[in-house]
């Protein structure tokens, strides 16, 4: 069965410092991995995805994520956090290949708090 774990309920960083939001996954084949962000009272917005190729993927708003197959991780990173990055972040996975109709499995979410 596919699953996603976000081990931290909340991450606190100071503005200007680097941030990391952790995600680990479990699938029986090649994963397609995604990060989404949710601002208060809004739906989720797509940030970035890993399908294949370069392990470091770049996305919206200066975020990037590193795919690590041996550690089954896909951590979200940003070199310099902004107060406006404060939001709820979701990692999601789907098993790549035929027969999967885009049914993402989401992690439980990590609240990022960036303090001035």
Partner 1 sequence: NAGVTQTPKFRVLKTGQSMTLLCAQDMNHEYMYWYRQDPGMGLRLIHYSVGEGTTAKGEVPDGYNVSRLKKQNFLLGLESAAPSQTSVYFCASSSPTQNSPLHFGNGTRLTVT
Residue 9 binds partner 1, judged by CB under 8 A: yes
Using a 10 angstrom Cβ sphere, with 0-12 exposed, 13-18 middle and 19 or more buried, the burial of residue 37 is buried
Considering only CA atoms, which of 110, 116, 96 is closest in space to residue 11? 110
Q: Per CB under 8 A, which region of 10-18, 20-28, 43-51, 69-77 contacts partner 1? A: 43-51
Report the alpha-carbon distance of residue 1 to residue 21 in Å, rounded.
Answer: 23
Q: Per CB under 8 A, which region of 11-19, 30-38, 61-69, 74-82 contacts partner 1? A: 30-38
Binding mask 86-105 for partner 1 (x = CB under 8 A): ----x---x-xx--xxxxx-
Q: Which is nearer to partner 1, 52 or 116 (CB)?
A: 52
Least distance CB 52 / partner 1 (angstroms):
9
Name residues whose C-beta falls within 8 Å of residue 98's C-beta, 6 or more positions apart in sequence: none
């Amino acid at each position: 069965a596919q699953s996603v774990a976000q081990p931290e309920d909340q991450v606190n960083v100071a503005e200007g410092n680097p941030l990391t939001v952790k995600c680990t996954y479990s699938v029986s084949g090649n994963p397609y991995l995604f990060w989404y962000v949710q601002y208060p009272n809004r739906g989720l917005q797509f940030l970035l995805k890993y399908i294949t190729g370069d392990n470091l993927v770049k996305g919206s708003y200066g975020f990037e994520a590193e795919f690590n197959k041996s550690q089954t991780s896909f951590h979200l990173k940003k070199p310099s956090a902004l107060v406006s990055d404060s939001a709820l972040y979701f990692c999601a996975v789907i098993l790549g290949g035929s027969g999967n109709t885009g049914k993402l499995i989401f992690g439980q979410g990590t609240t990022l708090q960036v303090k001035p």
